Chains A and B, each alone.
Chain A
Amino acid sequence: AQSVTQPDIHITVSEGASLELRCNYSYGATPYLFWYVQSPGQGLQLLLKYFSGDTLVQGIKGFEAEFKRSQSSFNLRKPSVHWSDAAEYFCAVASPEGGGNKLTFGTGTQLKVEL
């Protein structure tokens, strides 16, 4: 069964500092990988996704993520964090080869930005 691990429950960074949120996945085939962001009481907004090809993917709001098959990782990065980036971030993996295209989420990382 597919699974996602986000080892950091909370992260605090200063505004302007760089950010890296970790994500490790377990999936037997080539995964479809996603990063979502959620503000309190809201739905999920897609930041970026990886299906195949170039392992460094660019997303919205200046975010990028790198797929590393050897490490089963899909870490999210941003060179300079803005106060408005404070939110909860979820990594997710989908199973397109069967199983109903179910999307499995990590437990999330809460990002706090200090001014």
Chain B
Amino acid sequence: DGGITQSPKYLFRKEGQNVTLSCEQNLNHDAMYWYRQDPGQGLRLIYYSQIVNDFQKGDIAEGYSVSREKKESFPLTVTSAQKNPTAFYLCATLGVRDVSYGYTFGSGTRLTVV
């Protein structure tokens, strides 16, 4: 089945640690996105990538980093500079090659600082 795999589903981070969230897709989509979700704030864009080896900051990129070395993968690193990382993180892809322009979302990773 084509889709997006986010792992792990739950992640716990100690203060001062960096952690990496995985996002893998087999949809052959060029564009990939990372969103952060907090209660009452909707989803906010962290980073996005339109092609391999290229990515841009979204609205709340501070304290995060990404890479796009392969079309299938777009990992997100939450660094120690992110002061409030506890949130639900969603990865998405965009398919635009046919009339069914649309975004596909993964099932998310819940990150908790302990």
Contacts and interface: CB of A to CB of B under 8 A. Distances in A.
Contact of A44 (B44, B48, B90, B110): B90
A28 interface: no
B56 interface: yes
- Dominant secondary structure at the B interface: strand
A98 B94 CA distance: 14
Contact of B33 (A46, A90, A103): A103
Chain B CB count within 10 A is highest, among A6, A34, A42, for A42
A103 B42 contact: no
Given A105-B43, A107-B42, A41 B105 contact: no
Interface residues of A, number: 24
B58 A96 contact: no
A27 interface: no
A63 interface: no
Given A103-B92, A107-B40, 19 more contacts: A42-B107, A44-B90, A44-B105, A46-B103, A49-B102, A94-B103, A96-B101, A100-B48, A101-B31, A101-B96, A102-B33, A102-B48, A103-B103, A104-B45, A105-B35, A105-B42, A105-B43, A105-B44, A108-B42
Interface of A: 6, 9, 32, 34, 36, 41-44, 46, 49, 51, 90, 94, 96, 100-108
Interface of B: 31, 33, 35, 40-45, 48, 50, 56, 58, 88, 90, 92, 94, 96, 101-103, 105-108, 110
| 10 pairs of A and B residues whose beta carbons are closest in the complex | A107-B42, A43-B105, A105-B42, A105-B43, A44-B105, A43-B107, A108-B42, A100-B48, A43-B108, A101-B94
